[in-house]
A and B are shown apart, each in its own frame.
Chain A
Amino acid sequence: MSQLAFWRSGSTRVLPGFGLSMGISVLFISLVLLLPITGLFGQLANLSLAEYFAIITEGRVVASYMVTIGAAAVAALVNAVFGLLLAWVLVRYEFPGKRLLDALMDLPFALPTAVAGITLATLYAGNGWVGNIIEPMGFQVAYTWVGIALAMAFTSIPFVVRTVQPVLEDLPAEVDEAAMSLGATDGVAFRRVIMPHLWPALVTGTGLAFVRSLGEFGAIIFIAGNMPYETEITALMIFVKLQEYDYAGASAIASVVLFVSLALLLAINIWQGRFVRRLHGGKG
């Protein structure tokens, strides 16, 4: 009875401090997230709708979307495959240097992206360690869109590994052993038992990697070559507009990237909700 009385008194929550913690959270989000985005849209208010569409559909800018989205998609898919593999290796096996490899996974987050870009360009340029081996074989990486995808893959790999890893850790090896003991082959156990648990995390990680790649500038700019219509990324188009003191134009292009990113993240969230409900037997 006394417990019921506690429930009813004032707050409907057991945990105290909701007002304060929520208040601080909202303030923080407003300052670091909502305010800059509001500023971005404030700039857009200087444009008429026709001007806005003229800017975002200009040929060179559209070409940059293609380059950026194409390379980001390749980078995200490559990261999905290798990120999953890396997470698997890090969770399921014991080997010397495991802790080191685990720590290394966060390096792309810690390293200034410009440093990453310059390093990649140094390695893959025609006279670099990697470049002077692969270029005679006919593969050019630096100053092509492959280089762009490479830089994107580098900066976004932690997203996949770090989202898949904890889920895999919660999935004991006994689960696949049970599947095998019931007669499942390796492939079936992987597809029907393990993957269903990993999909939401893998898709989220891949989505985050993709979105991160869309906005990347520092790492890419040194390895892209920046040739109009061929290897210009959208972030460079924004940079060019800023260079021209065209704040509204820069905001217009940035808003396209923002909308694409938001739409994708939202879609993943919705899909994930449904998937998880279906997985646990609820009505989807």
Chain B
Amino acid sequence: MTLPSSFRTGLRRSLLAAAVGTAVSGMTFSSAAVAQERELLNSSYDIARELFAAINPEFQAWWEEEHGEEIAISQSHGGSSAQARAIMQGLRADVVTFNQVTDVQVLADAGLVAEDWQDAFENNASPYYSTTAFLVRKGNPKGIESWDDLVKEDVQMVFPNPKTSGNGRYTYLAAWGFAENEFDGDEEQIQDFMRTFLRNVAVFDTGGRGATTSFIERGIGDVLISFESEVNNIRSEYGSDDYEVVVPPVSILAEFPVAVVGENAERNGNSDLAQSYLEYLYSEDAQRQLAGFNYRVHNETVVAEFADQFPDTELFEVEDVFGSWEEAMENHFEGGALLDQLQRR
């Protein structure tokens, strides 16, 4: 029996996923599909549920006004690596809105997304961005203001495992970037700093929401490290009396890349819709909504409106410190690379 090799790989992958991955997939579907309408599927990261639940109706209204067509938008949420895997295995998402540049790149490498996807939309195809910030308990009893406060002996941190979570990778890279600057690039001192940093982690959850649960519900640790948007959302959800947000003076720029999954959008007859949907995220209305969810945005009017909400912070890019995402992954996160070495006993 001869099968096209892409089919075979796909098959093998899905079989493997079925064999070892049934319990680990945390994906959910929500759909407002009505028959006959065109339906756009947006595959997104885990913690973007509420965000797109707010933006989608606005886009639908806007599209209907412009084109007189009613459309449906479905959302799929999960860890963005798992989402990328699902698309490679055949999930027919029209667009991706991820929190990991690398996960879009994987799709580009597989030929599902255009190679020059980062030039397809403004700002590296990242309509909004965030940074890594801290959530501390009321009154900030351990006096945590910046990254070097985290390596003190009596501080316990909670952030997701960099091995399984993009959120955790940003935290690791942000700490590394801080240390690189602090120790003027002295490799030995940076690694010592990172070793202590990693040792102060109380629990490694597999994803951002798990870490939140450990910190809030289980009362573990002195500080939760996550995206600035996420820690602000947590604080407004769980009460501003019990927690405080600390944005460190230096931190990392976290991009939230978007892309059209060309092949799928074409097959679904949604190319125009997909393009328009992602462009809409740059519109003033959408940017205002994004800022409302505590994401930093580019639109100048909106930036001015929300100026109080986002403290001035020196943000460095992954490319500044680590060369490229590819190099950061290779040198730090792959099996046997720096992260493994730092955690080795």
Q: Which residues of A contact B (CB under 8 A)?
A: 35-40, 42-43, 55, 58-60, 113-114, 118, 121-122, 125-128, 142-143, 216-218, 221-222, 225-229, 235-236, 238-247, 249-251, 254
| Tally of B interface residues using CB under 8 Å | 41
A40–B206 contact, CB under 8 A? no
CB closest chain-B residue, reference A131 = B218
Our pick among B12, B164, B210, B335 for the contact of A222 (Cβ within 8 Å) is B210
A143–B335 contact, CB under 8 A? no
CB closest chain-B residue, reference A257 = B20
Chain A to chain B: the 7 pairs with minimum beta-carbon distance, closest first:
A39-B15, A125-B218, A226-B204, A127-B219, A36-B19, A228-B343, A218-B23
Point out the residues of chain A lying under 8 angstroms from B11, CB to CB. 39
Point out the residues of chain B lying under 8 angstroms from A59, CB to CB. 344
A-B interface pairs (CB < 8 A), number? 115
A222 to B24, CA, bound (A): 12
A97 to B121, CA, bound (A): 65
A254–B20 contact, CB under 8 A? yes
What distance in Å separates the Cβ of B251 from its nearest Cβ neighbour in chain A? Answer: 24
Point out the residues of chain A lying under 8 angstroms from B217, CB to CB. 122, 125
CB closest chain-B residue, reference A226 = B204
What distance in Å separates the Cβ of A90 from its nearest Cβ neighbour in chain B? Answer: 29
Q: Does B205 contact A (CB under 8 A)?
A: yes
B85–A35 contact, CB under 8 A? no
- Tell me if A's interface is mostly helix, strand, loop or mixed: helix
What distance in Å separates the Cβ of A152 from its nearest Cβ neighbour in chain B? Answer: 14
What distance in Å separates the Cβ of A223 from its nearest Cβ neighbour in chain B? Answer: 10
What distance in Å separates the Cβ of A237 from its nearest Cβ neighbour in chain B? Answer: 9
Knowing A125-B218, A249-B335 are in contact, say whether A226-B13 is a contact too (CB < 8 A): no
B15–A36 contact, CB under 8 A? yes
A247–B13 contact, CB under 8 A? yes
A37 to B85, CA, bound (A): 20
Knowing A126-B218, A143-B203, A243-B164 are in contact, say whether A60-B19 is a contact too (CB < 8 A): no
Point out the residues of chain A lying under 8 angstroms from B90, CB to CB. none
A247 to B81, CA, bound (A): 13
B204–A121 contact, CB under 8 A? no
A126–B219 contact, CB under 8 A? yes
B334–A251 contact, CB under 8 A? no
Q: Does B280 contact A (CB under 8 A)?
A: no
- Residue among B18, B161, B218, B334 with the highest chain A CB neighbour number at 10 A: B218
Our pick among A128, A221, A240 for the contact of B163 (Cβ within 8 Å) is A240
Point out the residues of chain A lying under 8 angstroms from B24, CB to CB. 217-218, 235, 239, 242
